[in-house]
Structure 1
Amino acid sequence: MYIIPAIDILDKKVVRLREGNYDDVTNYEVTLEEMIDKYQSHGTDFIHIIDLNGAKGDFSNQQYLYDIIRKTDMKVQYGGGVRSVEKVKELLDAGIHRVIVGTQAITNPDFLEELSKSLSKNNQTLDRVVVAIDVLDEVIKYSGWMESSPIKLMDYVDKCLRLGFYRFLCTDISKDGKLGGAGIELYEKLLDHSPFIKLIASGGVSSMADIEALNKIKVESCVVGKAIYENKISIDEIKDWNLQSLVSI
């Protein structure tokens, strides 16, 4: 299992939200460029960047983020405001390693099928698309976690698999931003339902003990954000863990 450090951006600032609440924001006195440089200097080659403005339909951050991302040779997993097949292709062509799709995949029933056909036609791998599933009490949330979907969680997973998408970023909203531990129960349910999916866990990771617990249930990777900023997990611990993970592959 690989640890992917997370950087959430709101109004061009590095932040963390509590349970996805835009009114409960923690700001950090560090820039996106500084965070990327810090991770890279400590041997991390994979970063998770979310445009929180884009997630709720405000695209004022996008050019700022694109300009910074284009300058780094880090592998970037990027999400927030990806609303069209053309945007996914644009990001992949620009060198983004993985693109996260969320709201559009929920609200437009044809989006994932169109995306699958388009990428396959252009010989681009579906492995570089991550389907975001943001969950609160087994209800899928979207639009920056402000709206609820009537689609059942496992039905949605099955639909994605039928269309060739098998990498999922699952955020347990009830855990996110609280440093209270990862949503192990939710991830176990997903992996019990579909053992062969590539699952990226997100939300609540607060210690290396949480990392160990996620590794035990065999998630592919996990996203860690606030625990780093609050000094619960050090960058050196992440570096050592990831090196050991690469050796064991």
Structure 2
Amino acid sequence: MYIIPAIDILNKKVVRLREGDYEQVTQYDVTLEEMIERYQSNGTNFIHIIDLNGAKGDFSNQDYLFSIIKKTDMKVQYGGGVRSIEKVKELLNAGIERVIVGTQAITNPSFLEELSKSLCGKEKCSDQVVVAIDVLDEVIKYSGWMESSPIKLMDYVDRCLQLGFFRFLCTDIGKDGKLGGAGIQLYEKLLDHSPFIKLIASGGVSSMKDIEQLSKIKVESVVVGKAIYENRISIEEIKDWNLHALMSI
């Protein structure tokens, strides 16, 4: 298991939201370029960038983000307002390694099927798409966590797998931004149901102890954001962990 550092961008500033609430925003005195430079190492080659403006349909950050991404060797896992196949292709063509899809995949029943066919020429997707599942008490939430889906969590996972999507970014909303520990029970249920999915954990990580617990249940990777900015986990600890993870493969 490896750690993917997270950077949330709002109005070209590095920020964190509490429970996805734009009214509960903390802005950090550091630039995107500076954060990426800090993370670069032999073991840490992925960065998780969420465009919070894009999540609301405002792509004013996009040129700024693309210009920085093109200058780095870091691979970028990107999300925020990706609601069309054209946008997925645009992001991949701009050098994004993985594109995260969420709301559209839930609200438009044909979206994932069309995306799979469009990217791969058949009903099997490549490694370029991450399906985001934001969960509160095992209910899937979308549209900035404001709406609830009637689709059962495990049924949704099964449908994605049938279409060839196997990498999931699962955020435990009740844990996100609180530094209260990761949603171990939720991830265990997902992995018990589908042991072969590539699961990216997100939300609540507060210490390296949480990282160790996630490693034991065999998640593929974990996104860490606020714990870094609040000095609960150091960048050196992340680099050391990822380097050991790389050496053990």
TM-score, normalised by the number of residues in structure 2:
0.96
Tell me, yes or no, if the aligned pair for 1:52 and 1:144 is still in contact at 8 Å. Answer: no
2:53 partner SS: helix
Q: Which runs of 5+ in 2 are unaligned?
A: none
Instruction: State the distance in 2 between where 1:83 and 1:209 align.
Output: 36
1:71 partner SS: coil
Report the CA distance shift for 1:121/1:42 in structure 2 as closer, same or farther (over 3 A). Answer: closer
The equivalent residue for 2:17 is 17
SS of corresponding position for 1:126: coil
Q: Which residue of 1 aligns with 2:119?
A: 119
CA separation of 1:43/1:157 partners in 2, compared to 1, >3 Å: closer, same or farther? closer
Question: What are the residue-to-residue correspondences of 1:168-179 with 2, within 5 Å?
Answer: 168-179=168-179
Native 8 Å contact 2:41 2:239 kept in 1: no
Corresponding residue number in structure 1 for 2:26: 26
Q: Distance in 1 between matches of 2:242 and 2:66?
A: 26
Tell me the CA shift for residue 215 of structure 1. Answer: 0.2
**C-alpha distance in 2, partners of 1:54/1:110?**
22
Give the Cα separation in 1 of the matches to 2:230 and 2:81.
Answer: 27
- Residue of structure 1 equivalent to 2:67: 67
Is 2:56 aligned against 1:49?
A: no
Q: Distance in 1 between matches of 2:80 and 2:126?
A: 18
Q: CA deviation at 1:93?
A: 2.2
**Cα RMSD (Å):** 1.6
8 A Cα contact 2:105 2:111, kept in partner: yes
Report the TM-score when normalising by structure 1: 0.96
* CA spacing shift, 1:175–1:91, aligned 2, 3 Å: same
1:195 is paired with a residue whose SS is coil
**Does the alignment pair 1:35 with 2:46?**
no
Give distance in 2, aligned partners of 1:166 and 1:31.
33
Give the match for residue 104 of structure 1.
Answer: 104
Cα deviation for residue 56 of structure 1 reads 2.2
Aligned pairs, how many?
Answer: 249
In the TM superposition, 1:168-247 aligns within 5 A as 168-247=168-247
Identity %: 84
* Counterpart residue number, 2:3: 3
Alpha carbons of 1:56 and 1:147: their partners in 2 closer, same or farther (altered >3 Å)? farther
